[in-house]
Structures are given as C-alpha cells and as structure tokens.
Amino acid sequence: MALEYDRLNDDTIAAAATGLAEAGIGIIRISGPDAIGIADKIIMLRQRNRDERDLFSGKKRKTLFGMPSNQIRLAYVVDPKDGRVMDEVMVSVFRHPYSYTTEDTVEINTHGGVYLMQTILELVIQNGARPAEPGEFTKRAFLGGRIDLSRAEAVMDLISAGNEFSRRTSMDELRGSVSDKVKELRKEVLYEIAFIESALDDPDNYSLDGYPHKLEEKVTRIADELKELIIYAKEGRILKEGINTVIVGKPNAGKSSLLNYLCGSERAIVTEVAGTTRDTLEEKVRIGNAILNITDTAGIRDTEDVVEKIGVERAKKAMEKADLILFLLDSSAGIEEEDRRIADLINKEISRGKRCILLLNKTDLPSKITQKQAQDLFRFPNPKPSQESSEKRINNYRSITFLTCSLKEREGLDRLKKLILEMFRAGEIMEKNEVFLSNLRQIHEAEKAEEALRLVIKSIQDGLSEDFYSIDLMNAYTFLGRIIGEAVEDDLVEEIFSRFCLGK
C-alpha cells in the first residue's frame, strides 16, 4: 500500500494533536513535504549563551532545517508579521520516512489553553498548511506503508479504550497481533494456490496424487482457526464496547431505583407516583472489567399520555438493541397483564439470543408472586421436567437468570453484578490471550474467508476438479487481505479514517 514519498501527498496538514482545553501542555502537529519550512517561519530556536535580542534580529539565526531529527529543543513561537512572541515552546523535528506519518513532521509542544493553541494553529495555517481532516495523520501512515489497516484501526481503539480488556487487545493489535496472524494464514493459503497452479501448468514435475486429502486437512485447520477468532471476537466485542443493558418493567416496579443503585448515585427521580420516568435515561457503568451501557426506560403500559406513549415505544426499541434485559417485577403487586405483555416482548428477544435477569423486587413487602409463577412467564427451549427449585431450574438456562431483591432495603443485590459478569463470561474472556479481531469489518471479512475455505472443503468432498479449489482459495486469500487493508476500496479507507478524532 506504500506510495512513493513525492507522490504520497503534495500538501502539508496541521492540527492540534491534543484536545483543545486548558492543560499543562498542548501539541500542534504538522506533517507533509513543507512541514519543516512552514514551522521554520514561526519558530525561533533558543541558543545557549546568546542575547535573546539576537534571535529576532536575524543574526546567525539557527533554523529548523539544521536541527537534528528526533530531538526536542526549546524555542519561541513568533508571529512573522510583527515579531510578537506568542509562546515559549518545545519543538521536535521528525524527518521522512522515520516519523508517524512517514512524512516530514514537526511537533510544537505549547502551553495548553484553548485560545493559545488556536492562535498558534492559525499561524501555522496562515503560513502554508491546511487543517487536517479527522484521522488524516494515521491515514498518511497507512498510505505510506508504516502500518496496515488493522493497526491503524487499533490506534483509535486504544484512544477510546474504556476498560483493561479493550486497552490490552488494542495494544496487542497495534503491535501487530492481527496483522501477523492474518499474514501467516494468507501465506499458507497462497502456498496452496501456487502449488495447484504449478501442478496444472506442469503436471510432469508436480503431482496431485493424494493432494486433495492433504489439502482438506490443511484447509479445515485454517478454517477452524478463523472460526475460533470469529467466536472470540464476537464474545469480546461486548466487553470491549460495553454490554448494552436495558431496564424494563411496568410503572413503579423499581426501574429508576435499580439505575441509581448501579450508578452509585441518584441519577433518576424516584417517587411513589407511577410513570415518573417518561423517556429513556442512558448511563455508562463499570462493573469489574465490563462496562454496562444502561438504558432506563419508561414503564411499559397502555397509556393515553402522548409523551409517555413515545417513551414506551422507545423502551421497546431499546429492548431490540440490548444484549442484556433487566426485567423488574413488583412482587407485592402480583403478576398483572402489563407484566405478561413485557414478558412476551422479552421472550421474542431471548429467542434472538438476548439474555435476561428477572429481578423479583420489593421482597421487603408481603409477596404475591411465587418463583414458579415468575418462571411461567417465560417460554424456555426444550424444557425438561425437574424436581429442582424454580430458581435453579431458571438458572440452568444461560439466557435467563432469576434473582429476588429489595431495592429499597438494598437486599439481594450483591449477586447482581456477579451474575452479569458470569452471563457474559467476562472473567473467562479476560483470561484469554488470543488474537482479537477488533471490529465488525474485520469479523465480516474473516467470516467470508472462512466461508470460502469451507467451499474448498466441499469441493474436495464432492470430487470436483482442482480448478474449483483455486477459485475459492483465492477468494479466501483476498478476504484475509482485506482485514489488513490489501485491495480495499478508497471509499472504505475514507470511511474508516473519518471516524478518527482530529489530530490523530
């Protein structure tokens, strides 16, 4: 993917590499063929044992062109129009190709501050640079061949990491774990493609006798390796991006109290009046190594209130997007028609692979619901007769778990967080140290590569000719390459880097 330096980019870009905020230090990054020349127009290097007045008189001024690479020097930022000193800074020069972008790059470490950084950035732009687009520095690193696409994506993943799993897997990917694994698998596939082509072109020197059986074994192993990567990626995605969690129940079942408990603060209004929450509330909560993206919903019931009706519809949509549903039942009220309607909605989501924890709340009051009645709200796949307790019978199904509690008295809630981590195998996933495909794009390409390899196996088992093997092997080779950025469309590259933040 690397391009010749003089053809890579003919313009020079600049942006704040750190956020525009009041801070001790801010960094302005400049990259491109004219980066050093543009920076030199506004930078005055300080020199030892020199009268600082000489710096601005033009006498024996040292320029950035003579500054060694990969060093940092004390300097002033000066407005060339009137000689005003804007800031005292530290400046570094990184020359092509040994820079982040593979281009000439200058980084100016300023004092932090919104106005100050904006002023210096405007000076850089006035003297020949253009504002960088989101992710453009990393895109230039990709186009320059310093990193492949999977490692470029890891940069943004590392920046946005919200937990240890995300940080660790992003750092592994940035160091080349995905790239190395994909290249290893591609090399094996390419070897078989080359062997088949050679045998077909030169049958006197290359024999295919017994080859299909050997190829089937090898392709099966590669396809199984890909399958493991895909499964791990799908399981790990929830830990990486957060468990989308929705709290549902009829009005006044205790949903807002549960949100406040999980948040550790009074995030939602709690009153004795049913229907206090009329819209969805969203919060991020850390539980162990996992993050819950929690949505507290309006109580689901028939209502003529226009605002509340909109909230109910949003609650239903939130359930469709959720990985985990926390369903609150008011044990003191008994099971009502509203509860049955909610359970019907949950049954649909469970059939799609969602998971649910049923919380039988208000156990500090006389209960009107038995565990058996609560269990009967749900339709389990292939139920088996059992003499076990209702709670254990429910817990035998990984998709739904039962818990009794009193949110008011904070009783029975100790197990809730542990149950959530167990349901999503958080501890088990954290302990794995495997290659992690970090996003849906990579997963989809891996799935297509696996599918192509399974077609090779089918062709062998069906007794088809070797020509058919080559076609599907080449498809698998191509799909694997797309994971790391080989033969990807320009539009896809633009879309990926547009998600990056400015300055990266």
Encode pLDDT of 254-263 as tens digits: 888 888 888 8
Dihedral sign for Cα atoms in the order 186, 192, 194, 200? negative
Strand partners, 326: 247, 357
The answer to whether 334 touches 368, Cβ cutoff 8 Å, is yes
Helix (H, G, I), strand (E, B) or coil at 141: helix
Pairwise pLDDT comparison (226 vs 409), residue with the higher score:
226
The upper half-sphere exposure of residue 251, i.e. CA atoms within 13 Å in the direction of its Cβ, equals: 16
Each residue's pLDDT tens digit, 146-185: 999 999 999 988 988 888 888 888 999 999 999 999 999 9
Determine the pLDDT at residue 53: 57
Residues 442 and 49: their CA atoms lie apart, in Å, by 56
Res. 305 pLDDT band, cuts 50 70 90: low
| Preceding omega of 97 cis (within 30 degrees of 0) | yes
Determine the pLDDT at residue 312: 66
Determine the pLDDT at residue 286: 85
pLDDT over 50 (residue 397): no
CA distances from 355 to 284, 346, 347 (A): 19, 9, 10
Each residue's pLDDT tens digit, 2-45: 444 344 568 999 999 988 888 889 999 999 999 999 999 999 99
Which of these, 357, 370, 302, lies nearest to 328 by C-alpha position? Answer: 357
**Which residues, in sequence order, are CB contacts of 296 under 8 Å at separation 6+?**
247, 255, 256, 258, 259, 267, 268, 277, 280, 281, 282, 283
Determine the pLDDT at residue 28: 96
Which of these, 99, 97, 117, 95, lies nearest to 108 by C-alpha position? Answer: 117
Helices and strands in the chain: count of H runs, count of E runs: 19, 13
Please report, rounded to a whole number, the percentage of residues in the chain having pLDDT higher than 90.
39
Residue 7 tokens, joined: 């053809």
Determine the pLDDT at residue 144: 92
Q: Give the residue carrying structure tokens 């799909």.
A: 479
Strand partners, 92: 72, 107
Determine the pLDDT at residue 187: 96
Q: Which domains does the chain have, with CATH numbers?
A: 5-148 (3.30.1360.120), 159-237+436-498 (1.20.120.430), 240-431 (3.40.50.300)
Determine the pLDDT at residue 299: 53
Res. 386 pLDDT band, cuts 50 70 90: very low
Each residue's pLDDT tens digit, 121-145: 999 999 999 999 999 999 999 999 9
Q: What is the rounded average pLDDT for all residues in the chain?
A: 83
Each residue's pLDDT tens digit, 58-86: 556 788 999 999 999 999 999 999 889 99
What does the buried/exposed string (b/e) look like for 123-146 if buried means 16 or more CB atoms within 10 Å of the residue's CB? bbbebbbeebebbbbbbbbbbbeb
Pairwise pLDDT comparison (271 vs 18), residue with the higher score:
18
Lowest mean pLDDT among 16-25, 215-224, 323-332, 424-433: 424-433
pLDDT over 90 (residue 421): no
Residues 173 and 189: their CA atoms lie apart, in Å, by 22
Residues 421 and 236: their CA atoms lie apart, in Å, by 12
Determine the pLDDT at residue 279: 46
End-to-end CA distance of the chain: 20
pLDDT over 70 (residue 441): yes
